[in-house]
Amino acid sequence: MARQPPRNRKPGLVAIGGTRARRALGAVWLVGAGPGDPDLLTFRAFNALRGADVVVHDGLVSEEILDLAPSRARRINVAKRKSRHTLPQDDINQLLVALALDGLTVVRLKGGDPFLFGRGGEELAACREAGVECHVVPGVTAALAASANAGAPLTHRGSAQAVTFVTGHAAHGEPDLDWTALARPNQTVVVYMGISTAGLIAERLMAAGRPGSTPALIVENASRADERRVLTTLAGLAEAAQGVKGPALLMVGEAMAMAQQGSASLRQCASEVSEWLPAVAGMSGVTE
């Protein structure tokens, strides 16, 4: 059954002592914005954005997606980059709770999917602890977009019976990963946030038994107009990663041999999307 994000702004009783009027509780929506291309935004995410009073967003969320929120909605950028955070995660958690307690409908707009290396679980836990209603809207994670655009399936009969998502980033030192398990053949390993540790990752995988000839694919800015793909091998991964500056994925596995490298041909439907988005804006409700 469709339902709108809470929009009750009716003030309650004024507390004695001169404090401000009490408001009905707002809610937090943890929304996956996908990898950047607005074509990949889900309808539920779109509807949640249209009902936002405040959008608390990551730095990687595209302007095209941010512009789908109402013009009246306040935007708060809590961008994170390696070793450079606008706000620490604990502060972001507190911000979401405070805004919702102030009676606002808060959309926490996160690149990709909120629960895949997005720290959405921590934000959900903070909302639950504070008694704030919290909804989660899944998004297309970058690996799916990168795989689709490159024509390299994450699973493929005969060459990839499993796929594993890992992070190449660690707060201190090298990632704590099960290298032996990741080195097994006939599986795809997708590494998020692994460009700076590409050499180490390749070294550990080969030391654990994965052949250096295993196909590897680097996808930079997956799904965006400037997407770039580099097809290499596990042994050549470190060198191939040196020229990558934007957000990127490392994808290792036999099925990556099917990938088309180079620049992506994207946004073929951009004009069509611009035509139907205003019509969609009139749709009401967010499907539970």
Catalytic residues: 58, 80
Other Cβ atoms less than 10 A from the Cβ of 58: the count is 18
What are the structure tokens assigned to 97, written together?
């709770």
- Angle at which helices 89-101 and 120-130 cross, to 10°: 40
C-beta of residue 82 within 8 angstroms of C-beta of residue 246:
no
C-beta of residue 27 within 8 angstroms of C-beta of residue 5:
yes
d(C-alpha 39, C-alpha 256), whole Å = 25
With CA atoms as reference, report the closest residue to 32 among 77, 1, 71, 65: 65
Helix (H) or strand (E) holding 203: helix 198-207
d(C-alpha 202, C-alpha 285), whole Å = 47
What are the structure tokens assigned to 89, written together?
């995660």
The DSSP line for 71-92 is: TTSEEEE--EETTEESS-HHHH
C-beta of residue 37 within 8 angstroms of C-beta of residue 223:
yes
Interior CA angle at 35 toward 127 and 260, to 5°? Answer: 150
With CA atoms as reference, report the closest residue to 237 among 198, 274, 270: 198
